[in-house]
Every structure is written in structure tokens, then in C-alpha cells.
Chain A
Amino acid sequence: MASGDTLQVFNPDQNEPPLTDFATRDSRNNRPCLDFDVTTSESAIFTGFMPRIYAGSGITVNLEVATTVTTGDMDWDVSIERVGTVQNLDSDGFAAVQSTDGTTVPGVSGDAAIIAVTFTDGSQMDSLAAGEMFRIKVARDTADTAAADLELYQVEIKET
């Protein structure tokens, strides 16, 4: 796998909602999406498998997002939990979040934006390696200023 190649793609219906403060299912023009609340930090969790062709260059997580307001900014937090053979399944073990903050929302309601969140290989990715199961958590940091739900349409993980 070369730099820039797609490793994994997640869509809204693949969300495994946490027990509380979960991003909620919605649609826009019949397109499935997940809504992240303005005031409560909500999250979505996806289970994946790191392809064996991951070359260890780190990953970039691209979030395809939109909203209904045309002013303000968006703050997104993403974290990785390596499962493999090291994570006790009765607990969560996400590494520290990596964030992309302060992205101005698109100037037209319904226009999509791609938010890139980067992870270096190693501890930022919870030391996830090729051929291992993992989970990725996407959350909104409600310190941002967009005064409406943020909508998540797709998550792409690519080799940086």
C-alpha cells in the first residue's frame, strides 16, 4: 500500500453507538448521516481491521461533513483503540484524541467539507499494527462555534 491509498471506509450505518451521548442517525436528501449535537459532545464508533498492506507510515482520517449553518467553525476529535490481542474487550482503551479544530463551516448549507485528522504511526494510533482489529471513535468538541448539528457522512482512513 502506498502513501495516500485508502485503507478503510466507514459509512453512518456502520456506527456502533456508545451507550450514552451517541451521534444520532439522520438523513439529508436521503443520504444517511450521523448528527453531532451542538451542546453535548457526542461520538460515533466504528470497528475496523487494519489491512496487512498498511506500511506503517501513519494514517490520515478524512471526515466528510456538512452542516446547516454557514458561519462558525467545527472542532473534531478522533481516537484509535488497538484491539488485536492486547485489548481486554470488557473495557475501552482509546488512545489520546487527535484533533482538527477551528475549521470554518462551508459557506453554503449542504456543501460538504473534508476534515483531515492525522496520526503518526505508534502511540497516536495506540500502536495499532497491520493485521489487527481496531476501533475508531469520532467525536465533536462542543467548544466549537457552529450553532447547529454537525453531520458526518463518511469516514475514510488512508495511509499518510
Chain B
Amino acid sequence: MARFFDDASVQYLLSTLTPLTGFEISMACWFKTDDLTLEQDLMSIADSATNNEEFALVFDGESGSGEPIVTLARAGGVSTSASTSTSASVDTWHHACGTWESATSRWAYLDAGGADESTTSNTPTSIDRMAIGARARSSDSKHMSGAIAEAAMWNTTLTPTEVTMLALGLAPYLVRPANLVFYMPMVRDNDVDIIGGISFTPQASPTISDHPRIFHKYSPQLGPAPAAAAVDRYIELMQVRQPVPAGIFDI
């Protein structure tokens, strides 16, 4: 089950923390919008004190140039962005990814395609909080109308090949795990980042909807299930960099 947001009710998730405050940043998630006419923030990190500083991964239905994914950097009230050449469809799961390598390079991807780069210099500052389904700045805006799942963030610039891996459905922890700083699967109302532990406060009670198609790491279990399960769980925990619980090797 993914998280579903109704923009009319101003539903989104908000955290007073952010896993990153500056370059390099990669953000990715799956989204399914029910309104192709709105500008909707999928993920954003911003300055809570103003409306002038932010990094945002956006579905832009207002652009007048299709329905692209936009990778936004806003500093001093001036926005610069990359915008995919391809468009999303209504009520359809799509993968969105944005990368901000530096002040002069940001990329936008829709389903690992339509890639576009913006090189206009811009450096947002004072980033101190995060939102899913809205813009995290002082006055929240650009609310999502639809579902979001598998939100993730890396402290590096993902390559086009890695973006393709994500768009094929691989779970984020399978892509550049050493640089994964935030991952929220968003299954039902589990609004917790399982990498950094950042928790979110639901605003106006977002609901749930069907989850997108995702592939997770696994290994076949032969013979006694507990032994294989313990090893598999250990591998999984190490990949997502969580402490190994006591007793994990008890068989």
C-alpha cells in the first residue's frame, strides 16, 4: 500500500529534519497522479523560514509544455530547473528522479527517460526540513494529488544507468546503497525513513492506496527456513546500514 494525498484537503507528510542540506543530492520516488493540470511536489527539502530556498522533485502539470518531471533549485527566490522532454499519464505509476550535482548541474528523469539538464547556477541554502507530497518551505504549497511510494535520497549523483535500475522497479537500497541516506518505502502509514530514522508527521490525514511494482533483494531459501532467513535478514540489514539486532544469528 502506498501513501495517497488529496491536494484539496492539503494532505502531505512533513518532517522537521532533512537528510541533506546541499550538493550532491539525488531524489527518487514512484508517483501516480490523478490530476494532470497541477504542479505537484513529490519530494522537497527547503528552508522552513522562507519561501525562497529549496530543492524539489516536481510533477509539473501546469507547465503548458506537457506533463514533465521537474528538478527544481530555488535560491534567493529565483528558481532554476530541468524539465523532462517526456510526460506522465494520469492514474499511472511513473518513476521520477532528480539529481543536483552542483550549482550548475541538475537533471530530471521520468521513467529513466526524457532526461534534461539545467546548468544555470543556483545554490539553495538554509535547508532544514523535508516534505513528501508538498513543498517544504515556510508556506507549504504544490500539494500532491495522488499516490507516492518508495521515496529515497542519496548524497551523490546517480548515473543514468542507476536511474534506469530504479525505474525498472529495483528497491532503492539495491542502488548505490553506500550513498543512500533516506529511504521510506511508504507501505501503508509507516511514515518512517528506515535509513536515517527521520519520521514524518502526516498533515490532514493522508490515506493509502495500492503500492507500485517493486523488486526486493532476496536469496532462495533451501532446507531449514530459519537458517536461510537469518542470513538473508543479516544481509538485508547490512545493506540498509541498520544495527544487527541481538539474537539475529540465533537459530
- CB of A77 within 8 A of chain B? no
State which residues 197-251 of B face A: CB under 8 Å. Answer: 210-218, 220-225, 228-229
Q: How many CB-defined contacts (below 8 Å) exist between A and B?
A: 55
A24 to B32, CA, bound (A): 15
Please tell me if the beta carbons of B221 and A9 are within 8 angstroms of each other in the complex: yes
In the complex where A26-B1, A35-B1 touch, is A8 in contact with B221 (Cβ < 8 A)?
A: yes
**Residue B188 is within 8 A (CB to CB) of chain A in the complex:** yes
Given A17-B169, A27-B188: A49 touches B222 (CB 8 Å cut-off)? yes
- Are B1 and A13 touching (Cβ within 8 A)? no
Q: How far is the CB of B122 from chain A (nearest CB, A)?
A: 37
Question: Of the candidates B185, B211, B225, which one forms a contact with A24 in the assembled complex, judged by CB atoms under 8 Å apart?
Answer: B211
Asked if B17 is an interface residue, CB under 8 A from chain A, the answer is no
User: In this assembly, does B190 line the interface, its C-beta being within 8 Å of a C-beta of chain A?
Assistant: yes
Query: Interface code A14-27, partner B: CB below 8 Å = 1, 0 otherwise?
Result: 11110100101111
A contacts with B: majority SS: strand
Q: Contact: A6 with B224, CB < 8 Å? A: yes
| Distance to closest chain B CB from A136 (angstroms) | 12
For the complex, count residues of A whose C-beta is within 8 A of B: 25
A120 at the interface (CB under 8 A from B): no
A123 within 8 A of B: no
Per-position binary interface string of chain A over residues 113-145, scored 1 when its CB falls under 8 Å from any chain B CB and 0 otherwise: 000000000000000000000000000000000
Partner of A26 from B187, B215, B216, B220 at Cβ < 8 Å: B187
| Smallest CB separation, A112 vs chain B (Å) | 16
Contact string, A31-70, partner B, CB cutoff 8 A, digits 1/0?
0100100000000000111010000000000000000000
**A25's contact among B214, B221, B228, B229, by CB below 8 Å, is which?**
B214
Interface residue from A11, A15, A35, A47 paired with B210 (Cβ < 8 Å): A35
Residues of A within 8 A of B211 (CB): 24-26
- Give residues in B with beta carbon < 8 Å to A: 1, 169, 185, 187-188, 190, 210-218, 220-225, 228-229
**30 A–B contacts, CB within 8 A, in A order:** A6-B225, A7-B222, A8-B221, A9-B221, A9-B225, A9-B229, A10-B221, A11-B229, A13-B217, A14-B216, A17-B169, A24-B1, A24-B211, A24-B212, A25-B185, A25-B187, A25-B211, A25-B214, A26-B1, A26-B188, A27-B187, A30-B190, A32-B187, A35-B1, A47-B220, A48-B220, A49-B220, A49-B222, A51-B222, A51-B223
With A14-B218, A17-B213, A27-B188 given, can you name 4 additional A-B contacts, CB distance below 8 Å? A6-B223, A8-B220, A11-B218, A13-B216
